[in-house]
Amino acid sequence: MTRISRHLVCGSLSLFLPLLAMASGNSLLVPATRHCQLGMAPAHRLEALRHCQMEAGQGNLQAAYELGEYFYQGQYSPRDLKKALYWFEQASARGHAAAQHQLGLMYFRGEGVRPNTIQAYIVLKMAAVNGEEEALDTADLVAAQMRPEELEGARQVLGRIFHDYLDGLQAADLGP
């Protein structure tokens, strides 16, 4: 395994280890329904934002995703890509497909992070597996801009992630 592949495996697995840990519940698909009320009138928006942050901090993936969108879009407050990235990563690491798609786009475009087509491809493929259909097309666009060795390295990482995930499912089925 090359140094780049090792780095990619470690970085990618850190995004998906919580997903693997939850394999017994088979939580690959996280439903995306609105949770926060961040589009409220300005007088109530600060309270809605606090409530949404509390919910996200307690593990509500949809709230984390909506916070990511709130800071990414900048419709009701100044755009903050670092905060958007943080909240998208929180939801992505636990299998929220829409957050994974947005995170993959941010890696691809270099929004809030250095552009990284390999990481973008991996996260977009995970989003597609988790039910975000548009992410598959986006991953194909990213793949078209990758060198063959980068694409092969990314595919190896994905293979390892899925292998580990399946091992986790089998271990859960064989549990005590």
Q: Does the predicted model carry a pTM greater than 0.85? A: no
Nearest to 104 by CA among 82, 84, 126, 129: 126
Higher-pLDDT residue of 98 and 42 is: 98
pLDDT of residue 7: 46
Write down the mean pLDDT value for the chain: 84
What would the 3-class secondary structure string for 35-69 be? CCCCCCCHHHHHHHHHHHHHHHHCCCHHHHHHHHH
Nearest to 26 by CA among 106, 123, 129: 129
Distance (Å) of CA 98 to CA 46, 122, 154, 163, 169: 24, 14, 20, 23, 23
**Cα(73)–Cα(93) distance, rounded to whole angstroms?**
21
List pLDDT tens digits, range 69-88.
999 999 988 999 999 999 99
**Cα(22)–Cα(17) distance, rounded to whole angstroms?**
9
**Of the candidate ranges 25-34, 67-76, 122-131, 161-170, the one whose mean pLDDT is the lowest:** 25-34
Instruction: Spell out the domains of the chain, with CATH numbers in brackets.
Output: 3-173 (1.25.40.10)
Q: Cβ(85)–Cβ(106) under 8 Å? A: yes
